[in-house]
Amino acid sequence: MIRQVARFVSRKWPQPIYDLRRELGLPKGANPLFDAKHSPHLVLALFSRVLGVEQKDWPGNALITGFCFYDADAGNAALPAQLEKFLAAGEAPVVFTLGSAAVLAAGSFYEHSARAAMRMGVRAVLLIGTDPRNRPQTELPDSICVAEYAPYSALFGRAALVVHQGGVGRRRNACGRANRC
């Protein structure tokens, strides 16, 4: 009974998939929510074994691959000019950053991060994403650089310490890419 109710309530959710399949000249296919969640060929788990291992209820053809590494679109893997200038002007900073989902609900993370860096007397980089609410409201000293985006591969090697929520997000975001394990 519960399964029937769930199918009824969600009956329109897969419509974009059905539309795409029709556009590509493919048959409608099975319901992706209930009957075709996993490929019969291979299922890729795009995270590190540090975060989890195969489970008994997984499809038999599942493979943990590790994270997908994606810094930016072609030609956009360099650090922003103001961040490059900041890094070249002093000691390695502490980098404060959130992942693809967490950056959308940062709350006071960046305010607290800036205060912690000032209290410790260290240089810092705040990767705040594109949400203007993430920008600290307090006036920041020259020892703190605020940037919307920076590719991790270009930044983390130049940091003294990285403060990151440790998520496994896959899409490009204010932080650049998923955490590397």
Whether domain 81-164 has CATH 3.40.50.2000: the reply is: yes
> 158 and 83 in contact (C-beta within 8 Å)?
no
pLDDT at 152: 84
- Burial label, 130 (beta-carbon count in 10 A; 0-12, 13-18, 19+): exposed
Name the stretches of the chain with pLDDT < 50. 74, 169-181
pLDDT at 153: 80
Q: By three-state DSSP, how is residue 145 classified?
A: strand
> 143 and 86 in contact (C-beta within 8 Å)?
no
pLDDT tens for each residue of 165-179 = 766 544 333 434 433
Count of beta carbons in the 10 Å neighbourhood of residue 123? 22
CATH 3.40.50.2000 location in the chain: 81-164
